[in-house]
Amino acid sequence: MLIFNTRTQNKEEFIPSEPSKVKIYVCGPTVYDLCHIGHARSYVCFDVLKRYLIELGYRVVHIQNFTDIDDKIFERARREGVSSSEISERYINEYFKDMDALNIMRASKYTRVTEYLQKIVEIVEKLLNSGYAYRYGNEIYFDVEASGGFGELIKNVEEFIVDSIKVEGKRKPFDFVLWKFDENGFNSKIGRGFPGWHAECVVMSMENLGNEIDIHWGGKDLIYPHHECESLIAKALVGKRFVKYWMHNGLVLLEGRKMSKSSSKIYIREILKYYPAPVLRMWILSKHYRRDLSFSEEDLNTAWKKYEKIKRAAKKAGDEENSKTKEYIQEFLSAMNDDMNTEKAIEVVEEFSEKNLHGLRLYKIFERVLGIEL
RNA sequence: GCCAGGGUGGCCGAGCGGUUAGGCGGCGGGCUGCAGACCCGCUACACUGGGGUUCAAAUCCCUACCCUGGCUCCA
């Protein structure tokens, strides 16, 4: 299978570090609100990748986190007058409701930042001792330059971002926070405080999957700074690259803009009031995962029609196959092999349906791999 | 600056090596008291510029230009 690796900006043949096992870490949500259709897209697309790897015979170990320490969570807790854990527990619960509705396979294990605080602190200490981090005022920063600088996933950010960056209070503008001392924070051997954003994923990934993982998945908005910083921390810790294939899905656009930048966002359950879950999946998968996807009811309706068409044909299709069946299955699989081209794969099945060809097997593969129940 | 995706007939929009979707509009006709809905037919030999590969390029490669989106809240 070919996979587009963000690091090399190229499609590469997928070869996991162990022959039949794939180790994957997925960046999960920060749990301060309900999941929106951007989350739906990211996790549906990943779900299909996972299903396809399973279809290919791999054993998939999938670790996914919940970021349950975050300013937005604290803010919401304050506003509602409840504890932050009450907020995060609530939205973790809601997360599972939405994901189950979308027929997304459960991860091998879900981790929470609060469960890994001690490990994060250990790593911060280790980085301090090895000279990759320093304390400046009330914060401990990661020293970007000492670890070789950015460049794993992005190039020349400096040239563009240098103006907008916070400079005071640290040695170099691009240094980022590993630990923030705070009286109200969590108790730890280095003192009360909160962990910074980037270290958590490194810790949760390494604790569960070891020093090298095969695939790290997330929305493309996480490339910089989150994943870039993660890769630097990991390199500083282990001395080498910790992710073989970086994969990033495109964003969902609302009126041409990234959803987080427009004033409103659309929640998954809001859409599910009007469209069945398989239709929502169909809509998402009708576009290649790396492209941006504009929200449009018209496209959702088109997806609905497609879904019904395929469903109707599947109901009529018998077990018997002819020479064409195998051909179409082959085409479906080779579309999936090409960096998970679900857009193409769906078209193959659509054409098969239109021609009323026989062979239930193709529909079974469609259901299994795309997770769309007919 | 970097990354991604694009630039197709009046407009929207497929196609992604050879057979030139489809829709809207426009034109003609049918139906109709007139118009509209509707039906039939006609109309667009179009692919940003410049190189190259090929027997053959809108489709592949290089290059230039232009447009859109993203780039420390973020999936």
The nucleotide lying nearest A253 (C-alpha to C1') is: B69
For strand B, give the nucleotides within 7 A of a protein CB: 1-5, 68-75
Under the banding of pLDDT at 50, 70 and 90, the label for residue A265 is: confident
Task: Tell me the average pLDDT across A249-278.
Answer: 85
pLDDT value of residue A365: 93
Quickly tell me which residue has 């990661």 as its tokens. A142
Assess contact for A22 and A59: CB atoms under 8 A: yes
d(CA A190, CA A123): 11
pTM, entire model: 0.91
The two tokens of residue A47 are 């779900």
- Per domain, the residue ranges of chain A are 15-253, 296-370
Asked if strand B comes closer than 7 Å to A33 Cβ, the answer is: no
% of residues, chain A, pLDDT over 70:
96
| pLDDT tens for each residue of A127-167 | 999 999 999 989 999 999 999 888 888 877 766 665 556 66
Whether the predicted pLDDT of A328 surpasses 90: no
pLDDT value of residue A359: 85
Chain A residues 134-163, Cβ below 7 A from strand B? 154-157, 159-161
DSSP collapsed to 3 states, chain A = CEEEECCCCEEEECCCCECCEEEEEECCCECCCCCEHHHHHHHHHHHHHHHHHHHCCCEEEEEEEEECCCHHHHHHHHHHCCCHHHHHHHHHHHHHHHHHHCCCCCCCEEEEHHHHHHHHHHHHHHHHHCCCEEEECCEEEECCCCCCCCCCCCCCHHHHHCCCCCCCCCCCCCCEEEEEEEEEEECCCCCCEEECCCHHHHHHHHHHHCCCEEEEEEEHHHHHHHHHHHHHHHHHHHCCCCEEEEEEECCEEECCEEHHHCCCCCEHHHHHCCCCHHHHHHHHHCCCCCCCEECCHHHHHHHHHHHHHHHHHHHHCCCCCCHHHHHHHHHHHHHHHECCCHHHHHHHHHHHHHCCCCCHHHHHHHHHHHCCCC
Our measurement of CA A239 to C1' B73, in angstroms, reads 31
Average pLDDT value over all residues in chain A:
89
Asked if strand B comes closer than 7 Å to A44 Cβ, the answer is: no
- CATH classification of A296-370 is 1.20.120, yes or no? yes
| pLDDT tens for each residue of A287-325 | 888 888 878 777 787 788 788 888 888 888 878 887 778
Whether the predicted pLDDT of A275 surpasses 80: yes
Our measurement of CA A136 to C1' B55, in angstroms, reads 71
| pLDDT tens for each residue of A32-59 | 999 999 999 999 999 999 999 999 999 9
Whether the predicted pLDDT of A104 surpasses 90: yes
pLDDT value of residue A131: 95
Architecture of domain A15-253: 3-Layer(aba) Sandwich (3.40)
Task: Tell me the average pLDDT across A93-98.
Answer: 97
pLDDT value of residue A351: 76
| pLDDT tens for each residue of A73-85 | 999 999 999 999 9
Whether the predicted pLDDT of A98 surpasses 60: yes
Whether the predicted pLDDT of A345 surpasses 90: no
% of residues, chain A, pLDDT over 90:
60
Whether the predicted pLDDT of A332 surpasses 90: no
Half-sphere exposure of A119 (CA within 13 A, CB side): 17
The nucleotide lying nearest A251 (C-alpha to C1') is: B75
Our measurement of CA A118 to C1' B27, in angstroms, reads 78
pLDDT value of residue A263: 66
The nucleotide lying nearest A161 (C-alpha to C1') is: B71
Chain A residues 168-207, Cβ below 7 A from strand B? 173-174, 176, 197
pLDDT value of residue A101: 97
pLDDT value of residue A295: 81
Asked if strand B comes closer than 7 Å to A220 Cβ, the answer is: yes
d(CA A106, CA A117): 24
Assess contact for A178 and A141: CB atoms under 8 A: yes
pLDDT value of residue A166: 65
The nucleotide lying nearest A158 (C-alpha to C1') is: B1
Question: Which residues share a beta bridge with A142?
Answer: A133, A176
Asked if strand B comes closer than 7 Å to A251 Cβ, the answer is: yes
Phi, psi of A252, rounded to the nearest 5 degrees: -95, 125
